[in-house]
Amino acid sequence: MSSKTSLPPLPPWGNAVAGATGAVIANTIVYPLDIVKTRLQVQIKRKPDDPKPLNPADIHYDSTMDAITKILADEGLGGLYSGIHSSLLGVASTNFAYFYWYSIVRSLYSAYQRRQLSLAVNVPLPAPGTAVELSLGAVAGAIAQLFTIPVAVITTRQQTQPKGERKGLLDTGREVIDSEDGWSGLWRGLKASLVLVVNPAITYGAYERLRELIFKGKKNLRPWEAFLLGALSKSLATILTQPLIVAKVGLQSRPPPARSGRPFKTFSEVMAYIVEHEGPLSLFKGIGPQITKGLFVQGLVEVLFVLLFAYMRRLRSEKLARVAESTAQAAKQALPILSK
């Protein structure tokens, strides 16, 4: 058999494992930024003329570095990794579900496309357009959210639990079920999460537009040019969707003390509460570590992509080469999800 014989693609579960592995590695490295941005996003600073005094036990953070310093002083190094087990479980399950469903949705679309064009099985299909690819990704992302958002809700709760009230994954899940809306409480923020599947589309649109503006539509970009465009486009997408991200975190976390335990019902209610107490700019709180995390993850995925292909070239087994190539491609595709 020739070494250039084409091989069938990995099955859905193979792509899912590859994508989940890359996600877990990247998010383990940047986890402290994740917990800092979550705590910045859930804190509510009352106005100076608010008649209700602040709880002296409340710790408020003024910036990313201020948050890191205070967490280390109050909770030690472990505070920066609070809830990491649930977070990595959520990252792995979300990415596994995304790549699994993307493979299925992509296969269904290919079968539909083949029927529409009346093509035989052995005839290659034309590559789908960008809009189709983004739509397929959005559908896969929405389906994945339906199955995995309970872990995200539990992770947000664990990341924001006071030092003396920390609970494990199961106990935190029971707290959500018992104290709020029953089992449906585990799906808090679902609507906002479904809307946020447009983030990759915004990122791609900004990427293409910036490439036209900055590099005059240049096709073959240097690595630093591609990274620059990726960083700028991801930052723009994050800025545009940050109010919704903040609202989603507000829905999934414990209600502010001023609400006497009454949870928010909708993300618009969270936004109105934040604007009332802190002003409209507070809808963008936590954006610093949010963007920094995205840039770090992008860099890590780019490095992983290069290393996997370098390793692949050294492999003699075609099967192993196919696995390495699929893993690298999966890591590349996972970027919009990893950096959320």
What is d(CA 245, CA 242) in angstroms, rounded to the nearest whole number?
5
What pTM value is reported for the model? 0.76
Nearby residues of 106 by Cβ (< 8 Å), 6 or more positions away: 136
The model's pLDDT over 239-255, given as tens digits with 9 standing for 90+, comes to 999 999 999 999 888 88
Which range in 48-57, 58-67, 330-339 is most confidently predicted, on average pLDDT? 58-67
Tokens matching residue 49: 């003329």
pLDDT band with cut points at 50, 70 and 90 for residue 322: low
The model's pLDDT over 117-127, given as tens digits with 9 standing for 90+, comes to 877 777 777 77
Nearby residues of 211 by Cβ (< 8 Å), 6 or more positions away: 217, 218, 221, 229
Q: Catalogue all structural domains in the chain, each as residue range(s) with its CATH number.
A: 12-338 (1.50.40.10)
The answer to whether 83 and 38 have CB atoms below 8 angstroms apart is no
Place of tokens 């030092």: 163
The model's pLDDT over 89-120, given as tens digits with 9 standing for 90+, comes to 888 888 788 888 888 898 898 888 888 887 77
The model's pLDDT over 168-197, given as tens digits with 9 standing for 90+, comes to 888 998 988 887 678 888 998 898 888 888
What is d(CA 114, CA 117) in angstroms, rounded to the nearest whole number?
5
Which residue has better confidence, 143 or 217? 143
